[in-house]
Amino acid sequence: MIDRVAREKAIQLLVKIFTEGITNYCLEDNWPDGSPDYSLKAISEQLWFYYDESPEKILVRNVFGPDIIALIERCIAFLTSDLEYEWPKYSFETENRALIERILGLGKRRAAAQWAHFKSAGDIDAWPFLRIEDYRRTLNQIEEDKRRRTRRKRVSPYIVTKKVAGNDDDGDR
């Protein structure tokens, strides 16, 4: 299920990383938890691993490396789309626990099998999109929407009024 209101809230929070910055506390406190849109839970879990939970600090673009910036941009693009989250249910928290288990030599096969199953479901480099084609299509749609908005802004009310009034402005003054 797509929860457009919750997605818009998440987009606003993530965009702040690229604009004015947002504290880790503010991001967590205002994240739309409890939404039936599973993409929000998955994105929240995934992003949580890329910043410290405590102490409070400001998250801004230059805090993250290029791979994490690309991930955040994909998350924003995904949340902008009308696509359902199609990856199998998988807890990235479980992946961290599985990593610790592997380091300690516990549950290596189980953790590896769970991760392999998850990765095999789609193009992991496109996550949270399942397919890279969906990501590209969404980026194209975002660009087209930007162009439409820009064209609307360029049309002055004067020109619209003249056309509605039937004045062609053929040079007769």
Write the DSSP string, 87-136.
SPP--HHHHHHHHHHHHHTSSHHHHHHHHHHHHHTS-GGGTTSSSHHHHH
Q: Is residue 149 part of a domain?
A: yes
* Cβ–Cβ < 8 Å for 11, 76: yes
Q: Is residue 150 part of a domain?
A: yes
Q: Is residue 57 part of a domain?
A: yes
- The tokens describing 64, both together, are 């993250």
Q: Is residue 31 part of a domain?
A: yes
**Average pLDDT in the chain:** 83
Q: Is residue 21 part of a domain?
A: yes
Q: Is residue 59 part of a domain?
A: yes
pLDDT of residue 106: 58
* pLDDT winner (highest mean) among 101-105, 112-116, 132-136: 132-136
pLDDT of residue 23: 93
Q: Is residue 96 part of a domain?
A: no
The model's confidence at residue 164, banded by pLDDT at 50, 70 and 90, is: very low
Query: Higher model confidence: residue 25 or residue 150?
Result: 25
The model's confidence at residue 100, banded by pLDDT at 50, 70 and 90, is: low
Q: Is residue 68 part of a domain?
A: yes
Nearest to 108 by CA among 97, 117, 124, 118: 97
pLDDT of 160 higher than 50: no
- β partners of residue 59: 22
Distance CA 154, CA 28 (A): 39
What percentage of residues in the chain have a pLDDT greater than 70? Answer: 77
pLDDT per position as a tens digit, 36-67: 999 999 999 888 878 777 789 999 999 899 99
Q: Which amino acid is at 137?
A: R
Alpha helix positions (H), 19-65:
24-30, 38-48
* Cβ–Cβ < 8 Å for 105, 148: no
Average pLDDT over residues 140-152: 87
The model's confidence at residue 161, banded by pLDDT at 50, 70 and 90, is: very low
How many domains, in total, are found in the chain?
Answer: 1
Residues 6 or more apart whose CB falls under 8 angstroms from that of 137 comprise none
User: What range does the domain containing 39 cover?
Assistant: 4-87+122-165
Q: What is residue 155's three-state secondary structure?
A: coil
